[in-house]
Homo-oligomer: A and B are copies of this chain.
Amino acid sequence: MLKLTNRQIVLATRPTELPQREHFEIIETPMVSLGAGDVLVKIRYVALSPWQGQRLKDFRNFTRPFAIGELIDCDALGKVVASNDDAMPVGQVVTGRMGWQEYAVIKPSALSRVDADAQVDELMWLTTLSSPGLTAYCAMDLFGRPAPGQTLVVTSAAGSVGSYAVQLGKLAGARVVGICGGQRKCAHVLNELGADAAIDHQDESFEDALRDACGGNAHLFFDTVGGPIADTVFEQLAKYARVLFVGRTASNNSATPHLDPVNLRQLWAREASMQCFSRYSYDERWAFAKDRMLELCQQGRIRSHHNVVEGFSETPQALHDMLAGKYTGKVLVHYA
In the assembled complex, A265 has its CB within 8 A of some CB on chain B:
yes
Q: How far is the CB of A139 from chain B (nearest CB, A)?
A: 11
Do the beta carbons of B263 and A260 come within 8 Å of each other? yes
- Give the residue name and chain of the B residue nearest to A274 (CB): B274
Q: Which of A61, A272, A276 has the most CB of B within 10 A?
A: A276
In the assembled complex, A271 has its CB within 8 A of some CB on chain B:
yes
Copies in the complex: 2
Interface size on A, residues (CB 8 A): 30
In the assembled complex, A267 has its CB within 8 A of some CB on chain B:
yes
Q: Is the interface of A mostly helix, strand, loop or mixed?
A: mixed
Q: How far is the CB of A248 from chain B (nearest CB, A)?
A: 6
Interface string of A249-266 (1 = CB under 8 A from B): 001000001111111110
* Given known A-B contacts A245-B268, A273-B276, A278-B268, A261 and B263 have beta carbons under 8 A apart: yes
**Interfacial residues of chain A within 255-309, with CB under 8 A of chain B in the complex:** 257-265, 267-278, 281
Interface string of A169-191 (1 = CB under 8 A from B): 00000000000000000000000
Among candidates B62, B263, B273, B276, residue contacting A267 with C-beta atoms closer than 8 Å: B276
Interface string of A227-262 (1 = CB under 8 A from B): 000000000000110000100100100000111111
Q: Bound state CA distance, A273 and B265, in angstroms?
A: 17
Q: How far is the CB of A255 from chain B (nearest CB, A)?
A: 15
Residue numbers in B under 8 Å from A278 (CB-CB): 268, 271
Do the beta carbons of B274 and A273 come within 8 Å of each other? yes
Known: A226-B264, A248-B265, A260-B268. 13 other contacts (CB 8 A): A61-B265, A62-B269, A240-B281, A245-B268, A248-B264, A251-B265, A257-B265, A259-B263, A267-B276, A270-B276, A273-B274, A273-B275, A274-B275
